[in-house]
Structure 1
Amino acid sequence: MSSTYFTDLHIHVGSDWYGNPVKITGSKALTLTKILEEASRRKGLNIIGVIDAHAPAVQEELMDLIRKGNAYELSEGGIQFEDTVLLLGSEIEIYDSSCSGPIHVLCYLPTLQKMKDFSKWLSLKMTNINLSSQRFYGTGRELQSYVKDQGGLFIPAHVFTPFKSLYGKGVKRSLREVFNPENIDAIELGLSSDTSMADQIKELHQYPFVTNSDAHSASKLAREYQQVSLEAATFEEFAKALKGLNGRKILRNFGMNPKLGKYHQTVCSKCFTPASKSQYSCNECGSHKIIKGVSDRISELGEDSTPPERPEYIYQVPLDYLPGLGKKTYEKLIEAFQTEMNIIHHTPYEELSSSISKPVAKAILAMRSGELSIKSGGGGVYGRIDRNLS
């Protein structure tokens, strides 16, 4: 019998259990154990993907959790920890002779042993296996072939961001310039785009879209995620959902309005004044550093075509984005309703307003329905929610 599960497949480890950095820009407090505890106990995520699982010290921490009986491997792939299943992933940077610029991709393996083998293979093609998002000295197709031969999943990451992404920097027009299209399992949209934007690109019509947080700190887990229908929370079941097999499928994508993404619009990188994609200098400060936004890049690549039927894309924001919802209010909500997924999806207004102020309770409902007023982001600065809530 199928059930529904909330999944976020792009979460970074900030530090290993020795205190050494894994994701340099990640929170030092964000260890593998902290991620698992946050996902299970506060976020209410059923499946998560940690994409620094190739790091040997991260694997050591996971093996310690298994030895102590706090986690165990599933026969169909994945690691069970309390109410959350961990999928083992790795974010890798490709920049071979076929690329116009660096491209980040997500690779997931079904078992811990296969991830260990992947790490050994990567260590021959990577300068520092202990860090996240490192350069792979090989071709994109070579990496794809290895992952697929091991029964893994291959997903280009945040494909439109101006830096280190498939369309933002990596290719001139088509993913075929770098990848074998048959060995791509899904496309990760990133924070500055949504389904309707991505479907302007015809070659993406054949792939499912995933929406993930790209979290560098605990609070950012589940800022984007999807709800899927599976028979169980396992690697194999999720792989079937990406293919839409036998009722397994992505039901809904939950993501921030693209205007909240920090690369949505074209802006001057010095003063953040909005600009057009054809500008060579800023009209406000004269700087020549214009960062092309995701919306303009997609308009360059788009073509007239009929998009496929897709799961509904629902605009949401994390709770801590809402004006008036500070740390004390957040903790009060968690104490009353256990997890963010319960608060966002299931708790009625009457119960919310009995625990917190009515304006903040109304803001949560407005967030659910996509009615919050938003100021667009760009040039590396996130958009923001209008603070004028009544």
Structure 2
Amino acid sequence: MKAYYVDLHIHIGRTKSGKAVKITGARTLTLENVLRISRERKGLDMIGVIDCHSPEVLEEIEDLIRKGEISENPEGGLQYGTTTLIPGSEIEVYDGNSKGPIHVLAYFPTLAIMKEFSAWMSGYVSNITLSSQRIYCDARTLQRTAKALGGLFIPAHVFTPFKSLYGKGVDKSLEEVLDPALIDGVELGLSSDTSMAVNISELNPFTFLTNSDAHSLNKIAREYQKMDLANPNFIELEKALKEMDGRRISANYGLNPWLGKYHRTVCQVCLYPVEDIDRICPECGSKKIIKGVSHRIKELSAESPPTNLRERPPYIHQVPLEFIPGLGPKSMERLLQALGTEMDILHRANIEQIKEIVPDKIAGYIDLARKGRLDIEAGGGGKYGKVKTE
């Protein structure tokens, strides 16, 4: 087994022709830029691009195959040099069983199967060209279809207040909407971590994933995982999610939940922290309160801790390099030129090597970030938390 770094939730903002795919995504977030940045700057070994159902994205992939820039991996996935692309789709479910919209992820081993899924899905969505479209069928039908095509099915960012399984979709249990037997893993999202999610007993059977949900190039790999695999491909990914034959997720790297946009409960108007979801804001008097992820997880958690918990990999509160105080673009470029990729800076370079390139104070922040020891001011209501410098 070898360690590989993996981010399975990356959007496409625009196609090569300039058409929108993820409307809120950056215009520079094109397929070719995603591939190049993921490999050359971020140092990722495997990525999931979750807008591959869009017909023009499929055409771009086929064009890259014709040019010889991408090849199909016989074990599943698309090979771009040392980086494997896993084609996927993010879909919004809001059927008669769910209380609100839920985002889910489906991944497929080959381009041909991805095209087949796209063709099927086009009969149930209003606009197949766009990302995260609402599908007009029930969630279990979607699950069965994805699994019948040999795909993987993962609920996305399950605790965020909007468009997620526990944030809006269900009252108490995922079984209100989904078939647990057809779930391959659970994506935690930016405002939670393993220590929070393990308190929900029905999640015990599932592997936890930490992905970036990148809407811009620099957000790629703000969360990711290390996987122990023989090689980065679809078959090995499936084995890792099922913890088969020694394949596994060996570490989750994610934001300290306090850095997430929805960690704490806040007033929607002025973002003042509110302790009681049923009270008005003590700062501005508004009754519009956004329930934070930490509050929601407490609601869902059992009064007594679950027993017989599965062994989980360590969750490392790693602050992305873009959050490091004082680390500007020029210093970042010097680090990349000297050390390689962001994965090299975060995992392979020692502190003395970093001090040779940037001032000791910045190097110290990077070292604390790698160890998850930076002080954080909590975020909420759509506003990120921030690193405290003093």
Question: Which of the five TM-score ranges fits, normalised by the shorter chain?
Answer: over 0.9
> Is this contact kept in 1: 2:277–2:289, CA < 8 A?
no
Identify the residue that residue 32 of structure 2 maps to in structure 1. 33
Q: Structure 1 runs of 4+ off > 3 angstroms?
A: none
Distance 2:75 2:126 in 1: 32
Identify the residue that residue 217 of structure 1 maps to in structure 2. 216
Identify the residue that residue 313 of structure 2 maps to in structure 1. 311
Please say if 1:352 is aligned against 2:354: yes
Please say if 1:372 is aligned against 2:371: no
Identify the residue that residue 157 of structure 2 maps to in structure 1. 158
Deviations 1:141-194 (A, max 9, x none): 000000001110000000000000000000000000001110000000000000
SS in 1 for 2:356: helix
Identify the residue that residue 274 of structure 2 maps to in structure 1. 275
Gaps of 5+ in 1: none
> Is this contact kept in 2: 1:158–1:188, CA < 8 A?
yes
- 1:279 shift after superposition: 2.8
Distance 1:210 1:106 in 2: 12
Q: Which stretch shifts more, 276-285 or 180-189?
A: 276-285
> Is this contact kept in 1: 2:45–2:83, CA < 8 A?
yes
> Is this contact kept in 2: 1:277–1:296, CA < 8 A?
no
In structure 1, give the amino acid aligned to 2:266: V
Distance 2:35 2:352 in 1: 31
In structure 2, give the amino acid aligned to 1:153: L
Q: Normalised by the size of structure 2, how large is the TM-score? A: 0.98
Distance 2:61 2:230 in 1: 25
- 1:318 shift after superposition: 1.1
Q: Normalised by the size of structure 1, how large is the TM-score? A: 0.98
Gaps of 5+ in 2: none
- 1:259 shift after superposition: 0.4
Q: Mapping of 1:235-246 within 5 angstroms? A: 235-246=234-245
Match of 2:322 among 320, 323, 330: 320
Distance 2:277 2:155 in 1: 27
Identity %: 55
Distance 1:278 1:93 in 2: 27
Identify the residue that residue 93 of structure 2 maps to in structure 1. 94
Deviations 1:266-312 (A, max 9, x none): 00011111002433321110111100000000000101212321001
- 1:224 shift after superposition: 0.3
Distance 2:28 2:371 in 1: 33
SS in 2 for 1:355: coil
> Is this contact kept in 2: 1:229–1:241, CA < 8 A?
yes
- 1:368 shift after superposition: 1.2
Q: Mapping of 1:102-181 within 5 angstroms? A: 102-181=101-180
- 1:46 shift after superposition: 0.1
Aligned residues: 387
Distance 1:360 1:179 in 2: 46
Distance 1:47 1:144 in 2: 24
RMSD: 0.7
Q: Mapping of 1:329-344 within 5 angstroms? A: 329-344=331-346
> Is this contact kept in 2: 1:223–1:318, CA < 8 A?
yes
> Is this contact kept in 1: 2:277–2:291, CA < 8 A?
no
